[in-house]
Chain A
Amino acid sequence: MADPWLTPRSPLDDLSLPVGDKFALADMPPAARFVFRGAEAARAACSTAFGVALPKALGAAGSAGERAALWLGPDEWLLLAEGESAETVAAAIEAGLADVSHALVDVSHRQVALEVTGRDAARVLSAGCPLDLRTKSFPVGMATRTLFDKVDITLWRRGETDFRIEVWRSFSPWLAAALTEAARGAPAA
């Protein structure tokens, strides 16, 4: 029998990511992640079971401690629980929704998270993201699924110059390289 405890690997592990005040990229630690789907009753019940209010509409993500709930669609949320075991979190949610129709699917490994920070963060993201990222249009807290160039991402603004990107893991090295290149081309702020 092999070692029963394996260390999770990320495709970003061996990359050297840019650091600095202007622009920095960081690989976020592993997290338990779920796609939660269901109607209003399920949303309410899951909010209680997960301990984070699942947003009713596009806008700010709900968060509490290391847990967060991002609105992806009218019946679809991304639940994040940093540093927790997916089995434990799933069991707790399922226990609270025994009688409510819903779908809870573990996507902890499907995607990885990149933290994008620095004065140029929004400008660099705009190299591939077509949304208006000025804070008046994309305020702190806002989360949405969108695009970076050809790649689907979920973009969550956690501060004026602090973003978290959730992206399917196989796209993450390309995304990191594309963001790094975009930072090189950006005009001095």
Chain B
Amino acid sequence: MSQAFRVPGGVALDRARPISFTFDGVAYAGYEGDTLASALLANGVRIVGRSYKYHRPRGIVSAGPEEPNALVGVARGPGRFTPNLRATEVELTDGLVATSQNRWPSLRFDIGAISDLLAPLFGAGFYYKTFMGPNWLGPNWAWKRVYEPVVRRAAGLGTAPTAPDPDRYARYFDHCDVLVVGAGAAGLAAARAAADSGADVVLCDEAAAPGGSLLAETRATIEGRPARDWLAETLQALGAAANVRILTRTQAFGCYAQNFVGLSERLPEPALIADPTLPRERLWQMRAREVVLAAGAIERPLVFADNDRPGILLAESARRYLNLYGVKVGERVVVVTAHDSAYRAALDLASAGVAVALIADLRDEASGPLPQAARAAGIEVAVKASVHAIRGRGRIEAVRLAAHPGGMRTLACDALLMSGGWTPSVHLFSQARGKLAFDAGLEAFRPGPPVARQRSAGACNATFGLQEALAEGDAAGRAAAEAAGRSPPDPRAIPVEGAPPAAGGTLGAPLHVLGDRHARAFVDFQNDVCVKDVELAIQEGYRSIEHVKRYTTTGMATDQGKLSNMNALAIAAAVRRTSIPEVGLTTFRPPYMPVTFGAFAGPARDDLFDPARRTPIHAWAAERGAAFEDVGQWKRAWYFPRRGEGMRAAVAREGRTVRAGVGLFDASTLGKIEVVGRDAALFLERMYANAFKKLEVGRCRYGLMLTETGYLMDDGVIGRLAPDRFHVTTTTGGAARVLAQMEDYLQTEFTDLEVWLTSTTEQWATIAVQGPRARDTIAPFVEGLDLSNAAFPHMSVRDGKACGVPARVMRVSFSGELGYEINVGSAYGLDVWKALFAEAEKHGGCAYGTETMHVLRAEKGYVIVGQETDGTVTLADLGLDWAIGKAKADFVGKRSLRLAEPAREGRKQLVGLLTEDPTVVLEEGAQVTATATPPTGSSALGHITSSYPSATLGRSIALALVAGGRARVGEKLFASTAAGAVAAIVTAPCFFDPDGKRLHG
């Protein structure tokens, strides 16, 4: 098909650059500068989509982001499919592949359209009324199996792509003095005034070309120049200013606290084709000191029966198609309006040779300068109009209307231009918590006093005249600059000629439509909401407009009230016989327009999603083929399989090696805090359950930290380096939490103490050397320390050297064996590890990972915070209350131990469990019960907290928290498994070397 509806003109087009594209598989031609919508109209394509609920054929209604119908999917190669794009915003590029949505098998013949005939079933709330049962096959059976899959296929918008998105998305914080949202007349004037003050100005506009209404302006002059020349000059001046940034294709989608504005910028397709490494979109998190909102206004549709037929569109949009893209929307048009602005469209179309059959004005008179100009141009104008019927289904063929003079008549036409007036775009103002005021004269909500540091200018402030909008923009720009601490330029007179005032507007539905149960008069095209749906909702008792919105779905989804809100409010007010301010407004939720997930995710995907923290020894473990596990952000070596070994075999071998000889374990991830100051010991006494004042220099203590509510929060070994200096270790996952809790008490409760805290977690690489040969392994490398039992007993700490570098050596054990932890500066960790490992190998040693560490400590009954505990476990539950400094008057959590729950008899206590069948390894988390088949509804006695096969013991072992557990030693209990209950005998929670002889070897 040739471009039959293309006419001369179209300032956005580059006619020297033809473009071919396909829509639903059919090839079409257009020009560079076209949008997909303008090119489709130029080619005479009228049906561009099927409606959401009724599958009615739909055409293009608008020329901007408010477009409700022309939603398309655009494919740009593998993984590059974007659904639900508005054809009015898709810039045409050569080879573009676009498809319509929500139709099967095709747009012209859509089986789903039968739902239009069944429309009586689909009234407001049909969802809630229809899909209720039957439930005799189980709760929600019918919904899950029948309705939901069918409804999901029939209703719905585009299809989400399934392949990974190959594109790059970027995200930046940004700051400016003055952010101007919207580069129409008011925004340009504001940006120019603010820029002249020297302020940092960012001007953003959602369109590819800035200019707003000026782009389609053919008659007006500004400052003595045609409006478009003024636009070009102003943009050039702004573009040349070093303190101004113009962001096109950039939507301000949300306004948050203190002028934090979300901007999403799309990059143009040709730039991406030229350089595929560019980001497809950028998300700007803009903090603006001052904001000027110049977001414009959106033309309102009229509400009449079958107002959704293809060929019926907004009047100003038709004018934009003509003046920007050289596209006539029809050969013979009828204009139906309640606002003078539609006359401009009629005049421009008539000049381009389009037959304007009639301008039917809904008002009682049409006497302004624009109606007079239309009459002078020979266009018939009639008033007191009402639309009664539309003929044509896939495309409008005629309109039946009544008007004066002329009475009721039927006019053939292939396009109908409508205008119900203009709705200011107040979304961002409202999101910034500004209160809107209803202006009864203008029949519009307009911004009241702003809450944030914002000013509204131009049409979004209900200032519609061009000269007035420019003056308001200039004033807003100057005021914003001044508020940002700049000296503003003098006010600038911006004279305008040839822009006669335009007034008028109507809201809601006329009387003959209200109450017509059969009329399909749409309020919200996108969500298929008709006048009768709003009426029904109110009849059924929904009063709040927020409830009406949800019950009918009007103004939901991407519309967010842009086209539908004011008409819906007016209808609700009419039915309730009240005023629009009484009905109130729904919330203008961000985003103003849809933002892709890619833009929000930005670079946070794959390796950049979250930092992966690796220890200094990680590379060695990776080289050795270690399996790793995630512990918070850390990657920890889990086990070191040798050739042919699975996890179980590797862990068994590692465990046996440690018990028989020596093993090396990378404990670098343990949290470490250096606590320094005169009152360091006193501070630790208050923070930990243990006593520290009498701990000798060079000795260590197993510290237990409680929450203030009395439950175990973290544990670790604490060594005294000097009277006023301690080396505190924490769990890997608890490091930040423990330091934060310490800082909290130090800064806000124990302010009498002189103590300072410094995290040293990453200062030290920590190498645990465990096993009977541990001393032999480290001895060759340690300088200046007597490693003998007498000089360096279990639970001691010494500063010395290892491999010639400063080392903090602790004699501690989490395996139950003789053990040391060698701390060296992280930069030396890998080399010291390698040296120690080479030595360990001489003693038959190996490296072991976190899994073996877990097994070894479980054999000893040592708890792991977060495994044996869950925030509701006390020291007494764990049998660790021996560690409490009984003489201390106070420590964090002490007072709570006297409360009813922590002190309750019969609490769950830590015990060992040995299955009767030693080969059965219980599941962690499994319920523990007194009988194999407990009665339904009875409580479990407890649960398994840890469970492993133990190579040392040659059988499985488990730890469990069991009610009154310590009194049950010897009892047979049952643990649930997938195969049924398994019998196990309760034991003490230590399975190996209960006297701890090996620790002191």
What is the count of residue pairs linking A and B with beta-carbon distances less than 8 angstroms? 144
Partner of B763, one of A3, A106, A175, A187: A106
**Interface segment, one of A5-13, A16-24, A47-55:** A5-13
Contact B803 A2 (CB under 8 A): yes
Q: Tell me the bound Cα distance from A111 to B764 in angstroms.
A: 11
**Interface segment, one of A62-70, A129-137, A154-162:** A129-137
Asked if A99 is an interface residue, CB under 8 A from chain B, the answer is no
Quick one: which of B758-810 are within 8 Å of A by CB?
A: 758-765, 780-781, 803-806
Q: Tell me the bound Cα distance from A92 to B55 in angstroms.
A: 82
Using known A-B contacts A109-B763, A185-B279, determine if residue A9 contacts B827 with beta carbons closer than 8 Å. Answer: yes
Q: Tell me the bound Cα distance from A35 to B673 in angstroms.
A: 12
Q: Which residues of B contact A181 (CB under 8 A)?
A: 603, 608
Q: Which residues of A contact B761 (CB under 8 A)?
A: 110, 168
Asked if B532 is an interface residue, CB under 8 A from chain A, the answer is no
Partner of A75, one of B170, B756, B832: B756
Q: Which residues of B contact A37 (CB under 8 A)?
A: 676, 756, 758
Contact with B along A30-56 (1 / 0, CB 8 A): 100001011000000000000000000
**Interface segment, one of B448-456, B612-620, B863-871, B991-999:** B612-620
Q: Which residues of A contact B173 (CB under 8 A)?
A: 126-131
Q: Tell me the bound Cα distance from A181 to B279 in angstroms.
A: 10
Partner of B676, one of A5, A9, A103: A103
B264 CB, nearest partner CB in chain A, Å: 13
Q: Tell me the bound Cα distance from A127 to B285 in angstroms.
A: 9
Count how many chain B residues have C-beta atoms less than 8 Å from C-beta atoms of the other chain.
55
Q: Which residues of B contact A88 (CB under 8 A)?
A: none
Q: Is the interface of A mostly helix, strand, loop or mixed?
A: loop
Contact B168 A111 (CB under 8 A): no
Q: Tell me the bound Cα distance from A11 to B78 in angstroms.
A: 36
Contact A169 B780 (CB under 8 A): no
B784 CB, nearest partner CB in chain A, Å: 13
Asked if A177 is an interface residue, CB under 8 A from chain B, the answer is yes
Q: Tell me the bound Cα distance from A84 to B604 in angstroms.
A: 38
Q: Which residues of A contact B756 (CB under 8 A)?
A: 37-38, 75-76, 102-103
Q: Which residues of B contact A150 (CB under 8 A)?
A: 610-611
Contact B611 A171 (CB under 8 A): yes
Q: Tell me the bound Cα distance from A109 to B828 in angstroms.
A: 9
Q: Tell me the bound Cα distance from A92 to B168 in angstroms.
A: 51
Q: Which residues of A contact B805 (CB under 8 A)?
A: 6
Contact with B along A150-189 (1 / 0, CB 8 A): 1100000000000000001111011101100110111100
Quick one: which of A94-148 are within 8 Å of B by CB?
A: 101-111, 123, 126-134, 137
Q: Tell me the bound Cα distance from A130 to B174 in angstroms.
A: 8
Looking at A3, A87, A181, the one whose CB has the most chain B CB atoms below 10 A away is A181
Asked if B835 is an interface residue, CB under 8 A from chain A, the answer is yes
Asked if B831 is an interface residue, CB under 8 A from chain A, the answer is yes
Q: Tell me the bound Cα distance from A175 to B607 in angstroms.
A: 11
Q: Tell me the bound Cα distance from A170 to B762 in angstroms.
A: 8
Q: Which residues of B contact A171 (CB under 8 A)?
A: 611, 613
Q: Which residues of B contact A87 (CB under 8 A)?
A: 806
Contact A3 B677 (CB under 8 A): no
Q: Which residues of B contact A1 (CB under 8 A)?
A: 780-781
Q: Which residues of B contact A108 (CB under 8 A)?
A: 763, 825, 827
A9 CB, nearest partner CB in chain B, Å: 5
Contact B615 A107 (CB under 8 A): no
Asked if B309 is an interface residue, CB under 8 A from chain A, the answer is no
Contact A3 B825 (CB under 8 A): no
Asked if B190 is an interface residue, CB under 8 A from chain A, the answer is no
Partner of B603, one of A4, A133, A178: A178
By a beta-carbon cutoff of 8 Å, the part of chain A in contact with chain B is 1-11, 30, 35, 37-38, 75-76, 87, 101-111, 123, 126-134, 137, 149-151, 168-171, 173-175, 177-178, 181-182, 184-187
By a beta-carbon cutoff of 8 Å, the part of chain B in contact with chain A is 168-175, 200, 277-279, 282, 285, 287, 603-604, 607-608, 610-616, 634, 674, 676-678, 754, 756, 758-765, 780-781, 803-806, 825-828, 830-832, 835
A-B contact pairs, 24 of them (CB 8 A): A1-B781, A2-B835, A7-B831, A10-B827, A35-B758, A105-B674, A108-B763, A109-B764, A110-B760, A110-B763, A111-B762, A123-B172, A126-B174, A127-B170, A128-B173, A134-B175, A169-B826, A170-B615, A173-B614, A174-B607, A175-B611, A185-B169, A185-B170, A185-B171
Given contacts A9-B616, A126-B173, 9 further A-B contacts (CB under 8 A): A3-B803, A6-B803, A76-B756, A87-B806, A133-B175, A170-B614, A177-B607, A184-B279, A185-B170
